[in-house]
Copies of this chain bind each other. A is one copy, B any other.
Amino acid sequence: MEPEIEIFREHLGKKGLRNTKERDAIVREISAFHDHFDVDQLYLLIKKKKGVSKASIYRTIPLLIEAGLITEVYLEDGHMHYERTLGRDHHCHLRCNQCRTIIEFSDPRLQEIEREVAQKVGFVPDGHKLEITGLCPQCAALDKRRPGA
């Protein structure tokens, strides 16, 4: 069994909630995404196989976040996106303002900054998100060719 399933069941148990085949299906399909996804993508994938409703997906997402299996990703296109957390290195995002591509990266100094800054203001940190915006290599190259933009 996927480790996600076990982790999620344990989380449900701790909260006095129940395990269901719908929740199993949702957790299983999330593992299939290797990058970002949104509710609609997840719904289409699950509906085909199992017939889980969108309402159940929306109701399950907060639980998945609490369990540490996914995190929210802001992509500035009007609705929420998510990404799998388990088994992936912590990383941050470079987002292209033009083509919206996301490039992932990680830098060990960020953990340090998180800890130090939090300590300075008496904050107990549990994570951070860094997003760098600008132009990806492709769009930057195109921009150079037509300087009037």
Contacts and interface: CB of A to CB of B under 8 A. Distances in A.
B127 A117 contact: no
Contact of A124 (B74, B114, B134): B134
Number of copies: 2
Interface residues of A, number: 35
A128 B124 contact: no
A44 interface: no
Contact of A132 (B74, B109, B127, B137): B127
A74 to B, nearest CB: 5
B107 A123 contact: no
Interface of A: 72, 74, 76, 94, 96-97, 103, 105, 107, 109-110, 113-114, 116-118, 120-137, 140
Contact of A133 (B76, B107, B126): B126
12 contacts: A94-B117, A94-B118, A94-B121, A118-B132, A122-B136, A123-B134, A124-B135, A125-B133, A126-B134, A126-B135, A127-B132, A128-B133
